[in-house]
Structure 1
């Protein structure tokens, strides 16, 4: 599995054409920048690739990966998530975070009572939502990742303070 020294920056969604190009979904702010962070690794770290973006296509990018020279090889990589070494990624301002850094953090309410842990981050277009699970929750809750709801993120301490909207718990 990818460790804390690697961050997921994209995923292969299938083959593009018959000459080994792949359809690539980039999770980078500037989609084409994904190639700048090569080598990109599979989640288990068993393979790495250099990336050459060939063009933009609907819902992603077409790209050539090192070691992938035909459609069968490209198809075999469908669903593969790609990870970059953290030290190759740009630094972030104090109020921005890589999703990988938020997963697993303990979420506390404003009074210091533990709500649960961040299991995933979702984005359906409006803003990021933190999926929080915990033993006291019947089902996971989704917290908007906004300053109003999440006033404090302390990566070093491994915690997030949440001002949970009334009625959510």
Structure 2
């Protein structure tokens, strides 16, 4: 498990005074500021975060040390991370995406299906993007209790019962 959890991303500048457009990845979107200061993935930069207002697809925010529109524009695409120990503990049936990436996925008979490349959400439910054990293109597995009855972080594996047609024959 990683010590840093991605809690937001900068999608560009907002206005001309150095504010940024901030997408929040926290369950309570406004809580992203509660975990401030946030760092870049490599830890090279750290920002205090103050949300100024809600805007379409996120928030306008002031980041410590960002003064101009050009500085804000230069941060487009930067993901912001908080240390795991600043985040709330999760119930047994919830997981941070960072903890799922890299886990091996087995079917209910013990056959290795692949490894989790990413966790995606396009609106309906989370999807696990798997790199199949046999190679080939990635596949998307719905991250629902029916399709993924067991996540064992201690053992570093997921047990899945994929719906018919999800995995190549």
User: Common fold, TM-score beyond 0.5?
Assistant: yes
Aligned to 2:119: 121
Give the Å deviation of 1:65.
Answer: 0.4
Contact 2:115 2:133 in 1 (8 A): no
Of residues 142-151 and 129-138 in structure 1, the stretch that sits farther from structure 2 once superposed is 129-138
Contact 2:112 2:133 in 1 (8 A): no
1:22 aligns with 2:20: yes
In structure 1, stretches of 5+ residues that fail to align are: none
Aligned to 2:158: 160
In structure 2, stretches of 5+ residues that fail to align are: none
**Residues 11-160 of structure 1 correspond to what in structure 2 (within 5 A)?**
11-160=9-158
Distance 1:112 1:86 in 2: 31
Q: Could you report, residue by residue, the CA deviation over 1:49-76 in whole angstroms, capped at 9, with x for unpaired residues?
A: 0100000011110000000011111111
Of residues 77-86 and 128-137 in structure 1, the stretch that sits farther from structure 2 once superposed is 128-137
> Match of 1:131, SS?
strand
TM-score of the pair, normalised by structure 1: 0.96
> Match of 1:132, SS?
strand
Give the Å deviation of 1:135.
Answer: 3.6
> Match of 2:113, SS?
strand
Give the Å deviation of 1:43.
Answer: 1.2
Distance 1:45 1:144 in 2: 32
Q: Could you report, residue by residue, the CA deviation over 1:69-103 in whole angstroms, capped at 9, with x for unpaired residues?
A: 11111111111000001100011000000000000
Which of 6, 9, 24 is the equivalent residue of 1:8?
6
The size of the alignment, in residue pairs, is: 167
